[in-house]
Chains A and B, each alone.
Chain A
Amino acid sequence: MAVTPHTAAPGATDTPQVATATTETEIPSTPPVTDPGPGPAEQPLPVVPGEHPNEAPRLTPVQFTPGKALYKQILPGVMQVPLDLVLAASRKSSLWPMTFGLACCAIEMIGTYMAHYDLDRFGIVPWPSPRQSDVMIVAGTVTKKMAPAVKLLYEQMPNPKWVISMGACATNGGPYTRYDRVLQGVDKIIPVDVYVPGCPPRPEALIDSFLALQAKIMEERKTTGG
């Protein structure tokens, strides 16, 4: 679409280019029009032929280099990446755990959220509601009385969701495994992604588990979780 509907201004050439479809015209070397004289700091605006002389130009014409990606030259702010990479990268950088501390490991989990071992710098914000959280950290012993509630909370979380089983009790019952009111590990009722050993695990161990979960998310790059 070379020129506007009204009469072609003198000097406009419609030079055919190699590729197509976009506006390329040579800037004619006409003198500036109707100007009382530009001030010392002002530059005269280039006048695109075909446009009204008092209008500002809408597009800055670009020099087009054939052989390179066109969209990079025209729209330099655009990036092309695979969609699953973007989704995985954004999911891993903003994991919101549901605050689900059951027993002593909850205290270490809280300590990891606090200012000394700060999990907020990883984008991890504790969130009380299961319906708006991504990760469930099962911190503490799951007893058989509590097991239905754990399963219900897991099912209330929307996909994609992950589970971190923190501490020895959530992994396999821990020191209380011989008592018959204790569930021997939370993976008997919900699928677990990362197991953190310790009784209780140090805050650094919990941070390490989040990093491992992030690596897992990037590696799997599934668009749905669970």
Chain B
Amino acid sequence: MVAEPSERAREFETQDLLLNVGPQHPSTHGVFRMVLSVDGEVVKDVIPYIGYLHRGAEKLCETMDYRQGIGFMDRTEYLAAFNAELSYLMAVETLAELEVPERAQWIRMILCELNRLSSHFMFLGAFGIDVGVFATPFIYAWREREALIDLFEEISGDRMMYAYFRPGGLAWDVPQNFKQRVEEVLKSSEQGIKDFDGLLTNDEIFRARTQGVGVISAADAIDYGMSGPSIRASGVPLDVRRDEPYLKYDEVEWDVITGSNGDVFDRYYCRLLEMRESVKIVRQCLERMADTGPIMPEKMPRMLRTPPGEVYIRTEAPRGEYGIYLVSKGGNRPYRLKVRSACLSNLQALRDMSVGQYVADAIIVLGSIDIVLSEVDR
């Protein structure tokens, strides 16, 4: 959507305007700042500034043992905390050679997929605000999120920072009515997904605003190291759950959703369809999960120590590939913990996606990448 300057317009000499967006702005993305260089209304250049939420999780985790680090991983990706905890603990368990019991694996899988649902609901709400449908999707999104968060609170005790997974399994067992509660939550989430689908997907104005906007090609996306729904919308079928399965993803049936155009609409629609896949996965897990069973291995040391070594574990968080690179030199603390953040790599492509669009489209492109600043800045 590049505006061609006409002959008469060329006679005018105009200067490009530097427009500062952020770090405080009405959208909900957090403290992100970008400086747009605009010519009229067309964006010529985007310079993102990040680091306003750099809190040093990597450095502080070097002083914490493996159980204290779980709380930091929660706060690194606060909308998908179970996925973040899972990555970290899988790295610890791989180094320490702990075997997670099967029931704990199913429960972890269910909770991670439900967390994906709640994170995508938040995306739908915030994206609706960016596109211009100001309050309706946001309140619908929170209605569904409250149902999910109530369930998480019953299980783990907290609405957002769960700290429920432990090295080897779970902290405590799930309540007795777990399966029935999850089924209720799934029903209400399905209705919520249907509501959003009906509200946004076939809406003419929404489509006109989002189709063809913010396109990134598959080759560029791979080169930038993008991941998650942002790269799947460009047609690259990259999903860690299928390519390098962890937990029990290779034992349940589900599809990888890929788009074709790589524009904003495809990124939105990939996430919506992914939510339906998540519901499918959780239903299959509920059937296969045992009602009783151990959730931690029998012999757990009092203070977990890992042998020297290093490992890089990746999982599919709702925003992309969340990787943990853990270097241990023995002892009960990491020597170096690196969080490979999906949002940082996705955000690198912002410039390529926004140049040549209008200012309002640049805002939508930022919204469609679905960033969480504490993961970008750590």
**Chain A interface residues (CB < 8 Å from chain B):** 98-104, 106-108, 110-111, 114-116, 128, 130, 140-141, 143, 145-146, 149, 153, 175-176, 178-182, 199-200, 202
Main secondary structure of the interface of A (DSSP, over half): loop
Note all chain A residues with C-beta closer than 8 A to B250: none
Minimum CB–CB distance from A192 to chain B (whole Å) comes to 18
A199 to B162, CA, bound (A): 11
Question: In the complex, what residue of chain A is closest to B76 when comparing beta carbons?
Answer: A104
Contact of A103 among B30, B56, B72, B138 (CB under 8 A): B30
Contact of A200 among B25, B161, B373 (CB under 8 A): B161
Q: Are B139 and A114 in contact (CB under 8 A)?
A: yes
**Chain B interface residues (CB < 8 Å from chain A):** 23-26, 28, 30-31, 51-57, 59-60, 63, 71-72, 75, 78-79, 122, 138-139, 142-143, 145-146, 149, 159-161, 373-374
Q: Are A143 and B30 in contact (CB under 8 A)?
A: no
Q: Are B72 and A175 in contact (CB under 8 A)?
A: yes
- Asked whether A179 and B55 contact (CB < 8 A) given A104-B161, A200-B161, the answer is yes
A111 to B54, CA, bound (A): 24
Contact of A141 among B53, B60, B63 (CB under 8 A): B53
Note all chain B residues with C-beta closer than 8 A to A181: 54-56
A153 to B25, CA, bound (A): 11
Contact of B143 among A98, A116, A141, A199 (CB under 8 A): A116
Q: Are B139 and A107 in contact (CB under 8 A)?
A: no
Note all chain B residues with C-beta closer than 8 A to A146: 23, 31, 52-53
Q: Are B161 and A143 in contact (CB under 8 A)?
A: no
Known pairs A115-B143, A116-B143; list 15 more (Cβ under 8 Å).
Answer: A99-B28, A102-B53, A103-B30, A103-B55, A103-B78, A104-B75, A111-B142, A114-B143, A128-B26, A140-B53, A141-B53, A143-B55, A149-B23, A179-B60, A200-B159
A103 to B55, CA, bound (A): 10
Q: Are B146 and A111 in contact (CB under 8 A)?
A: yes
Note all chain A residues with C-beta closer than 8 A to B23: 146, 149
Q: Are A100 and B24 in contact (CB under 8 A)?
A: yes
- Asked whether A104 and B374 contact (CB < 8 A) given A153-B24, A176-B60, the answer is yes
A119 to B290, CA, bound (A): 42
19 A-B contacts, Cβ less than 8 Å apart?
A: A99-B24, A100-B24, A102-B30, A102-B53, A103-B75, A103-B78, A103-B374, A104-B78, A107-B78, A107-B160, A111-B142, A111-B145, A114-B139, A115-B142, A116-B146, A175-B72, A178-B63, A200-B160, A200-B161
A94 to B52, CA, bound (A): 31
- Asked whether A149 and B142 contact (CB < 8 A) given A103-B53, A108-B159, A182-B56, the answer is no
Minimum CB–CB distance from A115 to chain B (whole Å) comes to 5
Q: Are A106 and B30 in contact (CB under 8 A)?
A: yes
Minimum CB–CB distance from B237 to chain A (whole Å) comes to 31
- Asked whether A175 and B71 contact (CB < 8 A) given A149-B24, A202-B159, the answer is yes
A19 to B195, CA, bound (A): 72
Note all chain B residues with C-beta closer than 8 A to A128: 25-26
Minimum CB–CB distance from A199 to chain B (whole Å) comes to 7
Note all chain B residues with C-beta closer than 8 A to A149: 23-24, 52
Q: Are B55 and A182 in contact (CB under 8 A)?
A: yes
Note all chain B residues with C-beta closer than 8 A to A107: 78-79, 122, 160
**Leading 4 A-B pairs by shortest Cβ distance:** A179-B56, A128-B26, A114-B142, A104-B78
Minimum CB–CB distance from B138 to chain A (whole Å) comes to 7
Q: Are B30 and A101 in contact (CB under 8 A)?
A: yes
- Asked whether A145 and B54 contact (CB < 8 A) given A99-B26, A108-B160, A179-B60, the answer is yes
Note all chain B residues with C-beta closer than 8 A to A179: 55-56, 59-60
Minimum CB–CB distance from A6 to chain B (whole Å) comes to 65
